[in-house]
Structure 1
């Protein structure tokens, strides 16, 4: 059976790519939040100096719930990728 973290896992992106439209990165250490002009939010966890795992997407009305949900899982996700060497630039 897959854990909740694995079930929600989505592709790894470069930190540079994820920074486009970045709203927040310091309020919850390791959790990055970005949005686009349509109010669509992407939530990611920074796993090393160059990479982010995108864990969720949400419309504005659902974003706060998802941000809170993933804020509690940052350490768990980082731990899951602690052996990974950065592969993206």
Structure 2
């Protein structure tokens, strides 16, 4: 999720090139999917945030699966424990 120490943006003002402005105009207004351009933009941001979180979750799951597949989970030997203790002290 986003770093909360960053500046929060509550208002955005932007200029769109004509093709994008036409598209937003088609997507908003009476009888359209979105009542206002702001509603349309909020939905786009929400969807982007959801996709980003979903991709992050998939990446984490993939790393966990890879870790389980690559690691040897046999019992530790006395040498393994001694090496771990030594590393912890250093």
TM category, shorter: under 0.3
Larger Rg: 2
Query: Counting strand residues as a fraction of each chain, which structure ranks higher?
Result: 1
Query: Counting helix residues as a fraction of each chain, which structure ranks higher?
Result: 2
Higher RCO, 1 vs 2 (CA within 8 Å, ≥6 residues apart): 1
